Structure 1
Amino acid sequence: MTLPSLGWASFFEEQLGPDDSGQLPLRVATVHRSRMTGLSTIGTVRVGLPAHVNTAQFAVGDWVLADPQSHLLIRRLERRSLLERQTVGARVPQLIAANLDTVFIVTSCNDDFNPARLERYLALANEAGTRAVIVLTKADQTPDPAPFLEQAAALQRGLEVVSVNARSPDAVGVLAPWSGVGQTVALIGSSGVGKSTLLNTLARKSEDAKQATGAIREDDAKGRHTTTARSLHKIETGGWIIDTPGMRTLHVSDVSSGLETLFAEITERAPDCRFRDCTHMHEPGCAVQAAVAAGELDLARLDRWRKLHNENLQNTPVETGARGNRKSGPRGKFR
């Protein structure tokens, strides 16, 4: 393997200084509670961790520098992109994947298809600064996948949507534009929608190396968790893919710019409202409500924007205290 084939780019090269000469660049491949592995031009190595280092500070896809002999971690390079999420009760976000080019948001053509949930994933991907592609699986198991494709494409301006049979080798060609040499993608979505099956197909996993897969339950269309950790895998087309555990509950936090991109038709009209702090609910001179009345904006879409906007306000920490002694804390209940 070469560094460019692993995803190395000028962005990372420019971070190296004279003191870094001779150090070994590693791409983090797995992160566990007390250990990490990395990929390099010499293959897969276990990364030695100094006593003060916590693996929670690293994400699969990170680039780090290590001692070439002992493989002891020296430092992590700045990230080009970072996919993260806030979990209930956690003080800091959970790192999902780093240095991604594309996020494949995977859902299936059945009762698991949920536009409101897909919008949460899109906000997350937008905030991370990555391209989002919605991948519809199980298209071969529905009489007509067209309605699913149309609904997904309408969720965000310019959004790319494809449908695949996750078990078919044809999926490799469909997703090839985003998974070429040196490119990195991440699979996110609910459990049971076919993420692990798709990974096995894209990576041409042998029977003994395949990721475990689980079907969606027939009674509620919900899946069982089969992937329990994040990991980096080589794709047949030359790129890299990061598999992630299913995320059925996804809270939004600190994703203001991601929501602006997601709801561009609302973002663009807001400056025309009479009041700067318009909530687009009942204020006179609201340009957004005028668009709804004129049939230019879907009311259900506006309702979903309001829910995510309010949730983001409530969950995003705010800085308080005197200058030089600021602390981040919860915003409190949104009114």
Structure 2
Amino acid sequence: MSEGAAAALSRWLEEERALAGASGHTIAAYRRDVSAFLGFMALHRGGPMGVPAIADVTIADMRAFLAAERGRGLSSRSLARRLSAIKSFCRWLAEREGVEPTAILAARAPKFRKTLPRPLSEEAAGQLIDTVELQARDCWQAARDVAVVTLLYGCGLRISEALSLTGRDAPLPEVLRIFGKGGRERLVPVLPAARLAVQDYLSLSPWPKEGDGPLFRGARGGPLSPRQVQKATEAARMQLGLPSSATPHALRHSFATHLLAAGGDLRAIQELLGHASLSTTEGYTAVDESRLMRIYEAAHPRA
């Protein structure tokens, strides 16, 4: 891409970070998506892609790009996400630079079927947490992994939210302030079992608790990686014979589903999960039709 396009991309990403509250992972993904698009177009059209050239992209160019991405094995879901980032950047360009990337904005993302989450049963969730403790070599690491997965299931946290906690957050209060996707803030009640699990971990950890340091640490004292939690969960899942869908994120699904099944209000669960849209929360829950009908009838009693 040209220097002008590179500078525009950097400005857009900075606005996304500062104003929209996009995470570091999201910013990195946006950069890859837009850079891949501009790189393809430069080769496809035989010249560097500056800001003015973006307005000259045609429908045929977009079809070539989408076909090339599918040819590389990119899934429909990933391609739709990539196209969304490209369109967001181009809309920003249209507002800031006055370009009219009509063909890019008109491109349609491939359709894909949203896979419904598969929450665990209450018994399986409890067994998974208990079995995670058996996967680590050291007692403190076992206690750490139990504390993390207990927060996922007991508080409905994302794994990134649990691992972003610092020493200043411990001992955990009864209500925890969490900053989720898009910088959205929410208050999450913390169950006594979760507070106790974190205290057990801290009492065994060889690393001192530091206010600005990560609450959950890896074997060498650095921040605990999500992959380490995933590996411990995978080992526990295989030991229990649970399906491959029994992931750390499935514990968050299970939190929502079990709350709803116990009579929880869908709007309240939406707030606990930090979802911007209620439809997203509905997708995180799975209850049988008879339970859904009881919820519906309670909300809409017949005259």
For the superposition of Structure 1 and Structure 2, which TM-score range results when normalised by the shorter chain? under 0.3
* TM-score (norm: length of structure 1): 0.23
Larger Cα-atom Rg: 2
The structure with the greater share of residues assigned to helix is 2
